[in-house]
Amino acid sequence: MTDITAILQEIVTEIEPLRSVGATASYIPFLQRVDPNKFGMCVRSLEGEEFTVGDCDEPFSIQSIVKVLSVAMARGVMGEELWQRVGIEPSGNAFNSIIQLEIEKGVPRNPLINAGAIVVCDVLLEKVSDVEKRFIEFVRALAGNPNIDYNLEIAESEASVGYLNKAIGNMLKYYGTLKGDVDRVLDFYFKQCSICMNCRDLAQAFSHFANHNEAFSFGGVELTRSGVKRLNAIMQTCGFYNGAGEYSYRVGLPGKSGVGGGIAAICPNRYSVAVWSPRLDSKGNSVMGLKALELLTTKTSVSIF
């Protein structure tokens, strides 16, 4: 991959006017306290070269980005049967919407919205013994960092105000989509969202999705080449909630955002990229993060389209 250090510097200059646009995720007390002015970015080539800028070594709460890793584990464990429990269609609704779930009788549209991710947690609890340990080992192995962990302070902070996710869990239980105990499933869900990683960790973890040519096996989880390809398709269509169309139009890479302000994305067979900036737009996506990715694909003239 050609050296893109100069491009990253240009991106930092060009996103500067957006520095005070948007707000941190105020509905989770811990996230409201994060310094909103952080910005970090790491691009990692398939060969393992890293190009970084800003606060790329500072860990942050990855929140919904974890949904990709969790569905990867569930797909590895269950194969195509997984899609009998959760769909693969974009929702066009907010990440925490409950309306569609009732209309569609408790089957979530996809695994990257909250309802779908809660079902994925239920599947993992049902199929994998000692699941919290196995899951974090999987994440560590993907990222090549043995120090990555759940952050129980963040998990408790979210659980203390997690009324909507609890309502979603209860509705899933009512319709029979969720098999396990609602509180137990939500406890695992909040723990997953609390995991802290930095941009380098995320870029390395997602580099395995950028490599279409190889099946992967990490922490006891195996995904075939076809499985990797299909998860990338779900990232492309569902990774940004009701902002998925705008993201595809502006950036053009399969990716996933989180309300911690992170975005991880991949350019198939070329590179993975992670960006972090805590101020979010009204749809829960990082304002500077989106702009930085848009500039990256524009300036390098490389995207999947």
Question: Site residues (CB under 6 A) for ligand GLU?
Answer: 63-64, 95-96, 114, 158, 165, 193, 258-259, 284
Q: How far apart are the first and last CA of the chain?
A: 19
Structural contact between residues 284 and 26, judged by C-beta atoms closer than 8 angstroms? no
Residue nearest to ligand GLU (CB): 64
Residue 211 token pair: 């490599």
Minimum distance between the CB of residue 114 and ligand GLU, rounded to whole angstroms? 5
Q: Which is nearer to ligand GLU, 254 or 284 (CB)?
A: 284
- The distance of closest approach from Cβ of residue 128 to ligand GLU in the complex, given in angstroms and rounded to an integer, is 21
Q: Which is nearer to ligand GLU, 6 or 152 (CB)?
A: 152
CB of 299 to ligand GLU, least distance (A): 27
User: What distance in Å separates the CA atoms of residue 74 and residue 57, rounded to the nearest whole number?
Assistant: 29
Question: For residues 283 and 299, which CB has a smaller minimum distance to ligand GLU in the complex?
Answer: 283
To ligand GLU, the closest distance from the beta carbon of 258 in angstroms equals: 4
Least Cβ distance, residue 286 to ligand GLU (angstroms): 10
Residue with tokens 């998990």: 155
Contact between residue 179 and residue 103 where contact means Cβ atoms under 8 Å apart? no
Q: How far is the CB of 147 from ligand GLU (least distance, A)?
A: 22
Nearer to ligand GLU, 6 or 167 (CB): 167
- Nearer to ligand GLU among residue 55 and residue 158 (C-beta): 158
Contacts of 170 (CB under 8 A, 6+ apart): 182
Is the distance from CB of 207 to CB of 46 less than 8 angstroms? Answer: yes
DSSP per residue, 168-212? HHHHHHHTT---S-HHHHHHHHHHHHH-EE-HHHHHHHHHHHH-T
* CB-CB neighbours of 80 under 10 Å: 10
Between 161 and 215, whose beta carbon lies closer to ligand GLU? 161
Contact residues for 247 (Cβ-Cβ < 8 A; gap 6+): 239, 240, 255, 257, 285, 290
